Each structure stands twice: as structure tokens, then as C-alpha cells.
Amino acid sequence: MKKHTLGLIATLVAGALNTAHADTLKMECASTSTGKSYCDYIKARFEKETPHKLEFVQLPPASDEKLGLFQQIFAAKDSKAVDVFQADTVWLGVLDKHLLDLTDHVKDLQPQFFQSAWNNDVVNGKVKAIPAFLDAGAMYYRKDLLEKYGEQPPKTWEELARIAAKIQKGEREAGKKNFWGFVFQGKAYEGMTCDALEWIASYNGGTFVDKDGKITVNNPQAAKALNTAASWIGTISPKGVLGYMEEESRAVFQNGDAAFMRNWPYAYVLAQDPTSPVKDKVGVIPVPKGGEDGQHAATLGGWQWAVSAYSESPEAAVQLIRILTDAESQKMQFKTVGVAPSRLDVYEDPEVIASAPYLAEFKEVFATAVPRPAVETKSQFPKVSKAVFNAAYDVLSGRATGEKAVADLEAKLKRIKGREWK
């Protein structure tokens, strides 16, 4: 009886201690049915593997609205609003001081992730987030048309322009009067910044601002890249491309009216829809190099899991982050939501390979991804991006040469920076 009583007391004490140390975390969860399904999976795992509880909060789906809300929450140092959330690739420099330093808790995970994605989440030497899923610019092409015209997928922009012109001419002669060689995102918005980064980096012209915060855009290779892009307008690309964002580009390509398209991975799944005119006719390659001595450079996109620096339960939040970013969770996220994993090992998973063989085509794309200089330019990145896409648009629309645009852009970026990026 005495042993039984002591055992019961020990159990009650242990239960009380567990309850005392149990926290309730608030995690961002998408409002879609697939998003909720994934969140329910995470909740079940988190509450089974830790003594803590998990609640969900919904945030605005629009990226700019969501960032604005976070800036309000963090300005007030609100510890109740959210603990764990997803941050866009270009937010980390803006939100740096409001994000928990994860370095000592996650440094063992680094080898499991695409290096460019991991490096994007390191601010001033500190890991401020873990890649949740990836996005990167990719070049889509019509496999059937390249075969029809006896061509191989291009490796350089020069090859792409030649092949696009050849196919465009042939298809128009065959009666498709509205057929174009190449469509992309040419409107003056963030998507143009992504395209311009790919063009300039592919010609070894840098990334506008280097890792040390130095403005590097005013160079001959950057000017050449922009002039090359401008040469496509009205030749292999419609003048209307100057108003295209992602969906306008996809509509033209998926309707069968273009040989090549620059877009993000989401477009592949849609192109393979049973109702798609180009189903089973689409291939994916890395964004072309700028000449034989250039490099493949896909703009890095995607989202990252981060922890509010004002969370009252940082240890529990770190436990949740590790669950969110392990292989099983990323596999489940891919199966339910359809986004591309940021962990290398998930691409080797037999179930993932069997269900989505096309992912193998994107692995090389992700491996060459180049981040925008958001970490380096900190809170001023939105101004930097606006200056970049307006400069690129001026060249594409014929208002400026590449040489004048990069010189003017350098001057504008120097004014934005002032003494230092802040």
C-alpha cells in the first residue's frame, strides 16, 4: 500500500511538473483546405512529441499585407499574436531584429538543405529562419517543338534567342500567327526584379549589391544583359510582355502560343493539367547562361519558418521549428500543399520520386538559385527592388540603354543607401 501511495504521489507530481512547463504556441496556418490538413498533421506530431499545445492563427494571404501586419505586431513587441510563422525570402533583412536567433539550435541541420536557401536565412552571421519550401526561376520549353525543329534545349541566352526565332517563324508559316518564341515577366514590379537578377547574374554582372553591401550594378556585363533582354521585345517576345506578370506569361505558354517561358515551379503542375493544351509536351531546364563563360542563375524564392523574438516560449518554438523542417514534415507538406521541399533528402525519397518525377528536373534549378540582395540592404530592400525593376523596364521599353540604366541605377542606389544600409 505504501509503495502504491508513493507511486501515485510521484505520478501526480510528475504530471504537475509537465503541466507547469507545458506551453501553448501560436503558429501561422494557411486558410486553404490543403494548408489546414498540413497544419493538423503538425499539431498532432507536436502535441505527441512534446508536452506543449499548438493553436493556429490566420494571416493575410497577400505578401505585402502580411509583412505590414508583422511590422505592426513587432513594433508593439506583441508576445501574444504569433510565435512561429512563415517569412518571405526577402523579408529577413527587414525583420532581422524581430526574429529569434536560431543558430545554436539548428546548426546541425545545415547540410540537409540547399545551400543557397540556407545562406539566404543567415543575417549578420546568425541563422534567423529555416527554409520551409523553395521557389526559383525556371525555363520551360516545348519538348515537341524542339524535336520538330531538330533542336536541343538551349544552354545560353544566345541559343535560346536563335531557337525561339526559328520555331516562331516556322509555327507562324504553319498558320499560328500569334505564336511567339519567348514569354516572361516584363511588367515593372517585383517579378521584373527577379528576371533582371537572372539576366545580370547569368552574364557575371553581379547581384546589384554584393554580400558586403557594396553597390556593384554599374558594370559592362550588367548593361549587356539588359540590352540583350531588350533585343527580345518585338522580335521573339510580344511588346505586350511589358505588361506580363506570372499568370499572363503562363496563359500564353499553356495555350500553346509560345516555345519558351520563364516562370516559377508552380506553372509545371498547371501545364500538366488534363485540360492543358500542352500536357506532356513541357520540359524544364535551368535559366540560360549569359554566353559560354556565363552561369546559370535562377532567382531564389520561397518561404522560411521563423520565430518571433518576443515569443514567451522560445524553447517550445524551437522544438516546433525542428519538427516543421524535418524530412517527414517536408514530405507531408509536398503531398498535401504541393510546394517544393527545401531539404535535399526529400528529393531522394522513393515515394516522392514516384508521385512527382518532375521534381528531379527542378533540383538542378534550385541548386543554382541566387538570392536577391534583401539581407544586405535590410529594411531598404523594397526601395532597392523598385529602383531595379524601373531601371530594367526603362531598357526593355526603349527609354534607356543598358549602359545608361545601370549608371543611373547605381546613383539611385547610393542615394537609398546613404552612409549604410539600415
pLDDT at 19 over 50: no
**In whole angstroms, how far apart are CA 205 and each of 262, 401, 406?**
20, 16, 11
Distance CA 331, CA 349 (A): 8
The predicted structure's pLDDT at residue 364: 86
Pairing of the two strands 130-136 and 122-123: unpaired
The predicted structure's pLDDT at residue 260: 98
* Average pLDDT of span 223-233: 98
Distance CA 152, CA 184 (A): 20
Q: What are phi and psi of 135, to 5 degrees?
A: -145, 145
Distance CA 302, CA 76 (A): 27
Distance CA 137, CA 328 (A): 26
pLDDT at 419 over 80: yes
Question: Scanning the structure block, which residue is given the C-alpha cell 515537341?
Answer: 144
The predicted structure's pLDDT at residue 160: 98
* Average pLDDT of span 102-117: 96
Quickly name the fold that domain 22-134+300-363 has: D-Maltodextrin-Binding Protein; domain 2 (3.40.190)
The predicted structure's pLDDT at residue 15: 46
The predicted structure's pLDDT at residue 357: 87
- Reported pTM: 0.87
pLDDT at 10 over 50: no
> Percentage of the chain surpassing pLDDT 70?
95
One-letter amino acid for residue 64 of the chain: D
pLDDT at 12 over 70: no
Write out the three cell numbers for 369: 538559385
> Percentage of the chain surpassing pLDDT 90?
86
Decide: 296 and 163 in contact? Cβ < 8 Å: no
* Average pLDDT of span 243-268: 96
pLDDT at 8 over 60: no
pLDDT grade for 360, boundaries at 50, 70 and 90: confident
**In whole angstroms, how far apart are CA 226 and each of 80, 85, 146, 185, 397?**
47, 37, 26, 14, 11
pLDDT at 4 over 70: no
Q: What are phi and psi of 108, to 5 degrees?
A: -70, -15
Decide: 77 and 310 in contact? Cβ < 8 Å: yes
- For residue 227, which of 147, 325, 161, 295 has the smallest C-alpha distance? 161
Question: Scanning the structure block, which residue is given the C-alpha cell 531539404?
Answer: 343
Mean pLDDT (the chain, rounded): 93
Decide: 56 and 24 in contact? Cβ < 8 Å: no
* CATH 3.30.360.10 at 138-298+372-417, yes or no: no
pLDDT at 285 over 50: yes
pLDDT in tens, 142-173: 999 999 999 999 999 999 999 999 999 999 99
pLDDT grade for 103, boundaries at 50, 70 and 90: very high
Distance CA 213, CA 233 (A): 32
pLDDT in tens, 166-191: 999 999 999 999 999 999 999 999 99
Distance CA 176, CA 235 (A): 16
Give DSSP secondary structure letters for 144-199. HHHHHTT-PPPSBHHHHHHHHHHHHHHHHHTT-TT-EEEE---SSSHHHHHHHHHH
* Average pLDDT of span 401-414: 98
The rounded radius of gyration (Å) of the Cα atoms in the chain is 24
The predicted structure's pLDDT at residue 64: 83
CATH 3.40.190.10 domain residues, the chain? 22-134+300-363, 138-298+372-417
